[in-house]
Structure 1
Amino acid sequence: DLGATIEVKNGYIYAHAEKLVGTDIYFDQVTVTATENVLMAATLANGTTTIHNAAQEPEISDLCHCLNTMGAKISGIGTSTLIIEGVKHLNGVKHSVCPDRIEAGTYLVAAAITGGSITVKNIRHQSMRATLGKLIEAGADIKTENNSITLDMKGRRPKAVNIKTSAYPNFPTDMQAQFTALNAIADGHSSITETIFENRFMHVPELSRMGADLTLEGNTVVCKGVKSLTGAHLMATDLRASASLVLAGLAAQGTTTIERVYHLDRGYETIEEKLKLLGAQIERVQD
């Protein structure tokens, strides 16, 4: 729609344009990556581009602020309609990327699944309301300050919580796998419905090998919480599934070994070292 010629050939995408031209973009579904790509392309296009049904994740707003600092002209930040007036060039800037709410949420679940406590610093709790709400529903005591979140389970077993993923500000799909692990050892029955991605329950068979009582029904997994999991030899399949297996391993009895943890490194920097600081017995073993 911006005037580029796109060709998919032999597994590669070839894109070409003499000059991009502003236009109206209508997304049938909310999509983070497409919103980001159109945003960046439109900043240097001729004319005005309007993105309708744009994603509203904090990361989108952060990108908009960065681009505006570089000289872009973007309005409607934080809403579902973004208006980008093309400029001739952008300038280099210094920009601090917004804190990773999914990484923070993963560590919060790590404490919740083990009945422990944690303080996560340098995080904007306002961007995590859906995740924090479900942790409170699971029985966690949570206190928030300007740039930190403290969670304390006080040794309690978490309560089962129902989850339905959706676009921001609703419950994030990137926390679905972690809450599946939490529900696996929670008190009670629950359901987790995935509405964003297809085939995003690759962690369910692996958790089942640890003794989790999970049943897949289409895009929903029905969880019957068990009192404890048993360590097992597992295979990681993607980023968030890998994280869920680590969390389950922390709560399980015995030793858990997870293969193909390179998936983790896409979204977590030295996760094993950070978990060690919390008292976890975890090691990365080189092949």
Structure 2
Amino acid sequence: MTLPPIRSTDVASVREARVALGQRLRELRQQANLTGRQLAESLAWPASKISKLENGHQTPTDDDIRGWTRETGSEAQADALLASLHTLESQHSEWQRQIKTGLKKHQQDLIGLDAKTRYYRAFEATFIPGLLQTADYARARFAQSITVFKVRNDINEAVAERVRRQEVLYRSDRRFHFILTEAALRYRLCAPDVMLGQLDRLISFAALPNVKLGIIGFETAYVVAPAHGFWLLDNDLVMVETFSAELNLAQPQEVELYGSVFDQLAAVASYGRAARTIITRVIDDLAPEDGS
């Protein structure tokens, strides 16, 4: 799977990532016992280029990375460095710029990712994942985005695109593993009747043969704290949403870390009948407020 298209980035975040990459390049040069001038001469570069790259004042190209690792005898580090480089511009996308033309466009971008992804792992501690949302629940979520970011109101179009995305759940060549906290089932992010419909839909989606739904009940003892939600797309990309940004993490060590965290959360989640029992308990607690 390839990374999503490069989008608007946060200047400070990009600068920090470029500096970190430069520091790693400097370490490799020093481990090879080469001066900046010696390395520049071996690569037929001006000496100033070494300084600019190591201090984060210039972004290296793929060829720069390959030449650097070749001349420093560190070819084994090339793939990790190239992953850092390719992540540099896509690591941090500002929501305000990303959705400035409305919410529909972002949903269409996600459909593009769906075309490339075969295995989805998602953990959410606060709300229902987009792929599992009813139209009414999605409408409530999009209304919050419009309130917070003051973007164009295209809720109807955005909801339609989100519902269209859910067609991927019925693809036999796709697999999905969702983990939710019980809190995500109880937070009052929409009207009670909307939440009741959403909880009922969760039970239905969990019956799909390629969907695995885990619920972590309030009584569960955590090994890893549910600090924030995240998505793992295949073994290539981690997506983390904050109020101000979407982080796209593609460095192998970060993907591996989030994969390990997901596995530990999955280990304490309830599945099958036990998960349905938790959902039903929430439905029973909420139903009286719906006047039923």
Structure with a larger share of its residues in strand: 1
TM-score by length of structure 1 reads 0.25
Q: Which of the two has higher C-alpha Rg?
A: 2
Structure with a larger share of its residues in helix: 2
TM-score by length of structure 2 reads 0.25
Structure ranking higher on relative contact order (CA contacts 8 Å, 6+ apart): 2
